[in-house]
Amino acid sequence: MGGGGGLMPAATASPVLEARGVSKAFGHVQALSKVDLDLLPGEVLGLVGDNGAGKSTLIKILSGVLQPDVGEVLIDGRRVHMGSPVAAQALGIETVYQDLAVVPMLDVAENLFLGREERIGGRFGRLLPIVNRRSMQRQAREQLNSLNIGLGSVRQKVETLSGGQRQAVAVSRAVVFGRHIVILDEPTAALGVRESKAMQELIQAINGRGLSVVLISHNMPQVFELTTRILILRAGQRAGVVRTAETNMEQVVRLMTGAEIQTAA
């Protein structure tokens, strides 16, 4: 049986994030068909499926990048309309995609506050919109230290960092601003064994802060190590949802491939 990581959500807890009957088509291609998802408080929920199963489309809907053709998204039981990623961020949802969206020529602190830079206050600050670099650098150091991320300096250019360090910066940015939910898309896809282990520890640290996490990954051992439940998609539909501690990789693969059909959640 799987181990299952993360904080253990209460069995009766209400979901912090829900998708209900979500469908999305691109022309004649039905990417998602009546998919349900629920993310519980303090949970790490795994989202798995073969290429083309609909994972990317689903997380883009949950992140405000796409809007569903049919269905609804709820946060804390309230139906929401997220017309853009900015709207999702305003609701406390932060997403880290595979391409990271870091700017190599900027330093670590600048990347952590990218698009949400702090300005100097007071009369002088009102006259001239000057970035408060000292405050950003201080907060960046505190944030990275609290997550046990070892970097030489927050003034170091991101282009000089390793792949794992860049990934850590992108994930840390999500933690800085993610008040509620963090969505991670293949966070260890291009990392070596040591950096993957460090990223796994970072995900556990994020979850330890009480944030709920959706983890999309092809790394099945990692999914079983970190998650409390796993949602399986197949051909744009929900093939099943299982408790990590009560299943194994073989069953999850059978659900992914259609060799097993789950008749009840």
- Domains of the chain (ranges, CATH numbers): 1-92+178-265 (3.40.50.300), 108-177 (no CATH)
pLDDT value at residue 241: 95
Give residue-wise pLDDT tens across range 158-181. Answer: 888 887 788 888 888 877 776 789
Alpha-carbon distance of 115 to 112, in angstroms, equals 9
Give residue-wise pLDDT tens across range 24-72. Answer: 999 999 999 999 999 999 999 999 999 899 999 999 999 999 999 999 9
pLDDT value at residue 265: 43
Q: Is the pTM of this model over 0.75?
A: yes
Question: Which parts of the chain have pLDDT scores under 70?
Answer: 1-12, 99-100, 121-129, 178, 263-265
pLDDT value at residue 121: 66
